[in-house]
Structure 1
């Protein structure tokens, strides 16, 4: 059945793209610093990227539900390829220009905000419903592994050949992703369109009509604010108390290893109430944060990173599978875009709060309180009947697509 071939194509293309992103992460920081830009310039580039991600997220979901997801992904890859190639040309020619770099980063991130909902909308069409959890776990494992391999290879490449080489590799990875998307044969059923605001509202009604989904989004928002604080402070603790840059590298590797374990568990462990299991495993993350406070030893932090990130990735698989099982395909892109928006909006808020809070109350108390917030945000979801009782789809074929005449107006 060709959908399995399409899934393999998607997985291969995305793995190369995820690895390429790691090259650009390293190349961008090195290029800006070596050009004399410093932290201020790098911060502006990153802020431009986040701003356009926020601005484009909801619109990306609407277009993912309006058009063929494959076509949205192809155009997104083409735009990101051009942006990465332009960055490579800028630094290869020693023509550093901060406003242009900010614009290119914004364009690339905005295009990515269209790609992600489209990929979410496409995935359930590529695999039978009873194999979605395994497919999501496979993609999570590939993405987590790429997040470790990409920066490592990127660092070696940039060190040997310079920052332009890192941007060039990333551009090439988008070309590979685009080629894979061009070969996809799966098509989605699409119905008549309505206004942008009306379609956004229909997507929100899909969320608000499901207690587990609306509760999960609000819980995730609280979770991401606290986690945004934690992710800043643990870097400071790692550098100042646990051995410096080498320790930070070991911790990042442990987080990646934990993510791989979580994805591997999700491949094998398939409880009927998968979402409930996901929220329970997410309760492991606070222990990772608390390890920086007590016993505040590197070995404990490494163990906490493995355990915590295993729980986090298992939850990610459970959440993605629940969305694909329960949300009508005609609205899946828009629901996914609301989901992405809460993450991108909440995380920078937490990042910005980390400095003032730690200066006022101290690093250890803030980490302790934020770990408690993570625990409460996860535990509270188990009070919601839908989160406790939602069951996995067991059909051996893909979930039915909403008929075309209902596709633009279905609200669940």
Structure 2
């Protein structure tokens, strides 16, 4: 099992770093070849749209097939899409419709990959090591989100945008190779209709107060956070020092995430989910620092504290899902979880401009910070969220569900 986890961690780290290359390459490629905000926005909108469309179906197939099989096919699809982008821009330009289609296909494949990865984790991680493993993956992902764009910027600046897409394609190849080497297998039951299986996944959610409440609370949270993420970028650039300030703040957020993951590696309370909701209450401090004292040093400190709390919560939430949800339904539950995030965040992004124009940036940030606090604090009123305990440290995956290839 531990060998499989190391393979997964290595493959995903390379893939996460590669995603940072593509983020930079896409923006540079579109702008430098004559496109502008309209074209780039349309490409990004297509990515979000197909993420939404594909999420629930990805969860169903993650529970129907071996998770690693879904992951391999998703990585192959993303590899081909990234390679096609590299070839297109290397030829000297791009066709907007084709670029939108490639971005949509890549994002749709990611919506199949993520639930499958969630469904795979309990198969390769013993119950007593899940929190540590989730914290390790969070630490690697957070570090990759800092390293990837930085290396991507240098690569694109030195060799052009096609090189950035090429590195991302190679990172998907590495992830696919790691998935092919995974030895764990799980027994899958008979299939029913797509709608029936989607409904069964929702019943897993609605039968647990902590899970249903958490998804509803997260939806409200992500709407407010979507507003905040737009306004803090504008505030950093206009009032705190421009692009260098935005870079320092992004680095502070990454540092906070690493600290949160490191704490989750060591601090293992029995009621982990309650601890996670409590640490999430630190996030409003990050938003409020832009309002008062509205100084760069305070914002950097707020970013470290807030994002440490956020990443600790992410580890607690992932661990709770793996402990409490049957492995046969975990992919579908994860897909509903992803859907609420992707559906709510763009709504908040779209509301940021009109709200700040009508009421002012500082009042909107203050209200949204209050919404973040209430969305998290309200979960502590739910008995399941307060009292949910970790799975027994001696619990392992049921023998009838997991087998190891020989």
Q: TM-score range by the shorter chain?
A: over 0.9
Match of 1:407 in 2: none
Match of 1:104 in 2: 102
Partner Cα separation in structure 1 for residue 318 and residue 397 of structure 2: 14
Partner Cα separation in structure 2 for residue 44 and residue 135 of structure 1: 37
Match of 2:10 in 1: 12
Q: Deviations over 1:242-281 (max 9, x none)?
A: 0000000000000000000000000000000000000000
Q: Deviations over 1:316-371 (max 9, x none)?
A: 00000000000000100000000000000000000000000000000000000000
Q: Which runs of 5+ in 2 are unaligned?
A: none
Alignment root-mean-square deviation, CA: 0.9
- Secondary structure of the residue aligned to 2:381 is coil
Match of 2:323 in 1: 325
Match of 2:392 in 1: 394
Deviation of 1:395 after TM superposition, in Å, equals 3.2
Spell out the pairing of 1:326-345 with structure 2 (5 A cutoff). Answer: 326-345=324-343
Partner Cα separation in structure 2 for residue 146 and residue 158 of structure 1: 17
Match of 1:118 in 2: 116
Partner Cα separation in structure 1 for residue 401 and residue 297 of structure 2: 55
Spell out the pairing of 1:52-201 with structure 2 (5 A cutoff). Answer: 52-201=50-199
Partner Cα separation in structure 1 for residue 71 and residue 401 of structure 2: 23
Q: Deviations over 1:166-221 (max 9, x none)?
A: 00000000000000000000011100000000000000000000000000000000
Mark the CA change 1:18 to 1:157 in structure 2 (over 3 Å): closer, same or farther: same
Deviation of 1:95 after TM superposition, in Å, equals 3.2
4+ residue stretches of structure 1 with deviation over 4 A? Answer: 401-404
Partner Cα separation in structure 1 for residue 394 and residue 93 of structure 2: 56
Q: Deviations over 1:128-151 (max 9, x none)?
A: 101100000000000000000000
TM-score by length of 2: 0.98
Q: 2:222 aligns with which of 221, 224, 227?
A: 224
Partner Cα separation in structure 2 for residue 356 and residue 14 of structure 1: 38
Match of 2:307 in 1: 309
Q: How many residues align?
A: 402
The answer as to whether partners of 2:186 and 2:401 remain within 8 angstroms in 1 is no
Partner Cα separation in structure 2 for residue 49 and residue 151 of structure 1: 19
Matched, 1:275 2:279: no
Partner Cα separation in structure 2 for residue 281 and residue 235 of structure 1: 24
